[in-house]
Each structure stands twice: as structure tokens, then as C-alpha cells.
Chains A and B, each alone.
Chain A
């Protein structure tokens, strides 16, 4: 039963279809069929957060999500955030706070931060640590990430349309 199956879903706002085999995970499909490499499979066990994508508005580990499961769903990846000529306030805040070194984990942190700020628009340190504890940064930029989240929170409050 390894025949490919055609699924239809919304990817970064556009209706798309893909032929996926039952064992393909979401990251494999996004990379191989759509050339989207922002979400990376690192641990492959849902432990590091590098493969975070939004499915129906919820952050999921793309390495643990079977591609067939997004049939009919709405998938958003990091690539959609800087649509047009403007960065997302969270992306801008990460740059200004220096909240990364190598950048490998950054797409996951940015998407998770977006969800954090949707749930808690004005998070304190403990809320930030708790919410982002599923994202690992080998370069150890955690203090800078906290600063970036707070900066993004202030920006979002100041400019709700951004």
C-alpha cells in the first residue's frame, strides 16, 4: 500500500495539490514538491522545533505530521511571512534583538512566537520560556529570543495591522 495519493490543500494561501505516499511526512513533501526549505527536519522526533509549520493555524512539528493528513487543510510556512516587501514584526524583532547565530532553528522559533503572541499578546518571561521550550537553539540565543519576543509583542500592540 505505498501508492501515491493526490491531496489538495491550501499552502501559504494558494490552493495546491500534491502526490504523496503514505509514509511521507509534511517536511519531505514541502521540500521535495514545493521547494520550501525554511522548515527543516533536524531531530526527526518532534523534539527540536526546527520543522515547525502551521496547520489550520496551529503550530505542528512537520517531521511528525504525515503529509496525507493535510488533505483539505490550510498550511502556512515561514516563507509566507515576508510576503511583499515587508518582514513580519516577529522576523524584524528577531533581527533587531540578534536572536539567532546560525539561523537553523529560527524559522521554527519565529512561527512558534507568532502563535505565542496570538495566545498571549503580552507574555512574561515564564510564559515565553514555557511556550518556546519545545524549540532548541544550539547557539544558545535564548536570552536574545526572550528580548525579541517582547519587542515583537510591543510592535504588534503598537501596530495591530502589521
Chain B
């Protein structure tokens, strides 16, 4: 993960009690809008679905380093949590100001009416997150605090190798991850499964052929990505029950965590099946067959 990086968020509570979240994380399908809204809802005690996540626009939304490296839930998650907490404290101060007793659960719209005599006003909370970081020592390259969190996963693969053709069939793929406490378990499951399947493509067949700087297999006909028949017959996606002590609500990033082990697991399974050790991707039939033939002392030519 890239570190240290900064995320900034703004939570705007309007006089009708509606909440808008301004954050620069791009939801490209990983479900960040949902999880960020859940975190705001948790802090402000409002339904997650009532939190409007404002479309990212540098004219409007505050700074974020980028949506990458499985950093958003951790970094932006903290910024969003802090922005919501800031808004919550300001709402509490407003309640004190208008004479509400400590611990009052006056609805937000009523609070604004009490202050302004009509449905008016806004409370704006801001949150910034930048993790602690110690740069690597120039002489050793070592640091006692190089990253805000570590991404940990393990993968197991079961394969069937056709030694006549080099074709590898994936029978089973098991991913086990430490992702802290999931904010949204369903999203986490889809993220794990999708990441493993995407990595499976890089492992088994995806390879860009470049000629003089030009990609020569630039279409889906010549650059195969995983389809239905490439998915392992059995897939298991599991998380260990953990709490990330420095994460927002015990959570941390998920996106890429299920990718790490896929290639080595499949390569190890191929080695276990037929005794060839492949150290270069993709593990396509040609590579597997070449390795098998080389081991048999009958190497294939180059044409």
C-alpha cells in the first residue's frame, strides 16, 4: 500500500435532518459509497440509506490522494468517521445552546427549528486522516512504521493438469483473508471472489504482447479475460474473525487482498500435480506443456 497518504471528508447535516457526504473516493463497483454511508449512519445514528454520497468532483469534494491500493476504506473511512463525529459534536453543542438537557434525543429537524425558528441552517463536520509513518532509514531501508496496515491473505488451489496438452483445470480455489471487521459482509464477499477471479485471469492466460511499444493483442479476442468456464468449480471465500485495532470500526482494506496468493497457489498446485515449477506468468497451456516436455527430456522447439 502507498503510504503516507491523506484523505479528507465533509459531512453536511441539513435542517431537514438529511445528510450529505462529500468524499473523493470513486465508487467503481467496490461499494465504497455504501460502506462510507454506513459509517456516517453509524456515527450520526441515522439510516445509511438516508446519507447522500455526493458525486466526486474536484470543484466540490475535498482532497483525496486516490482510489487505489485498497486504501479507501481505511484512509477515507477514518476521514469520513471523523467528519461524522465532528458533525455529531457540533449537533450536541447546538443542542446545549438551545437549552436541551444533556443526552437529549431531540430530532435533528426540531433542533434546527429551535435554533432558527424555522427549518434552516446546516451543521458541517470535517475530517482528515493521515496515518503515522516513519520513512525507511536511508542506510538500512528499514522502518518501524512503514504502513498503516498490512494486508494478509492465503490461497489454496486444487488443479487437474492434462499432461498431453498442458491445460490446467481449476477444481477448487480457497481464499482466506484477514480484513479486520467487515463493514458490509456481502460487499466483502463479492470483493474477495472478484479479486481472486481477476487474479486467476492474470495467472492463467492474460498477457499483453507488446511490439515496438504497441500492444498487439488489444482486443478481447486476443487478450482473454476470465469467463464463466474459467471460474473454479468450487470457490470458497473466508475471513478470519479479527478487529483491526487502528482501523475505522475495526475494518481495513479488502480490494486486492484476495489476489496475492492466487498465482503462487496455482503454480504450487501444478508443481504438486506434475512436478514442474513455473516461475513466470501466465501459466497457460503452452508454458505448462513446455515445462512438462523439458522435464521429460523432450523439450519443444521455439517454432
Binds B, one of A42-50, A54-62, A71-79, A80-88: A42-50
A140 touches B228 (CB 8 A): no
Asked if B220 contacts A48 (CB within 8 A), the reply is yes
Q: Is B80 an interface residue (CB 8 A)?
A: no
- Could you say which of A135, A140, A143 contacts B198, with CB atoms under 8 Å apart? A140
- A47-B220, A102-B28 are known; give 5 further A-B pairs, CB within 8 A: A98-B189, A101-B30, A129-B231, A139-B194, A141-B190
Question: Complex formed: what's the CA distance from A73 to B227 in Å?
Answer: 31
Residue of A with least CB distance to B235: A143
B193 touches A144 (CB 8 A): yes
Count residues on chain A whose CB falls below 8 Å from chain B CBs: 25
23 A-B contacts (beta carbon < 8 Å)? A42-B220, A43-B221, A45-B220, A45-B221, A47-B220, A98-B186, A98-B189, A100-B29, A101-B30, A101-B190, A102-B28, A128-B228, A129-B228, A129-B231, A136-B225, A139-B198, A140-B193, A140-B194, A140-B197, A140-B200, A140-B231, A141-B194, A144-B193
> In the docked arrangement, what's the CA distance between A44 and B218, Å?
12
By the criterion of a CB under 8 Å from any partner CB, how many residues of chain B are at the interface? 26
Provide the residues of chain B in CB contact with A128, threshold 8 Å: 228
A138 interface hit (Cβ, 8 Å): yes
B214 CB–A CB distance under 8 Å: no
Nearest 3 interchain pairs by C-beta: A140-B197, A101-B29, A102-B29
Q: Judge if A132 is at the interface, Cβ distance under 8 Å.
A: yes
Main secondary structure of the interface of A (DSSP, over half): loop
Question: What are the residues of chain A within 8 A of B194 when measuring CB–CB?
Answer: 101, 139-141
CB of A24, distance to nearest CB on chain B (Å)? 21
Within 8 A of B (CB), among A96-138: 98, 100-103, 128-130, 132-133, 135-136, 138
Q: Are B198 and A103 in contact (CB under 8 A)?
A: no
Q: Is A43 touching B30 in the complex (CB atoms < 8 A)? A: no
B267 touches A (CB below 8 Å)? no
Contact partners of A9 in chain B: CB under 8 A: none
- Establish whether residues B226 and A140, one from each chain, have CB atoms under 8 Å apart when the complex forms: yes
Residue of A nearest to B194 (CB): A140
Q: Are B231 and A142 within 8 A (Cβ)?
A: yes
Distance between Cα atoms of A125 and B300 in the complex (Å): 38
Q: A47-B220, A133-B228 are in contact. Are A142 and B197 (CB under 8 A)?
A: yes
Take A140-B195, A140-B226, A143-B193 as given contacts and tell me if A47 and B221 are in contact as well, using a CB distance cutoff of 8 Å. yes
B298 contacts the other chain (Cβ, under 8 Å)? no
A139 touches B29 (CB 8 A): yes
- The CA-CA distance from A43 to B227 in the complex, in Å, is 14
Whether B219 is near chain A, meaning CB under 8 Å from some CB there, is yes
The answer to whether A43 touches B219, judged by C-beta atoms less than 8 angstroms apart, is: yes
Which one of A98, A129, A130, A142 has the highest number of Cβ atoms from chain B below 10 Å of its Cβ? A142
Indicate if the CB atoms of A45 and B193 lie closer than 8 Å: no
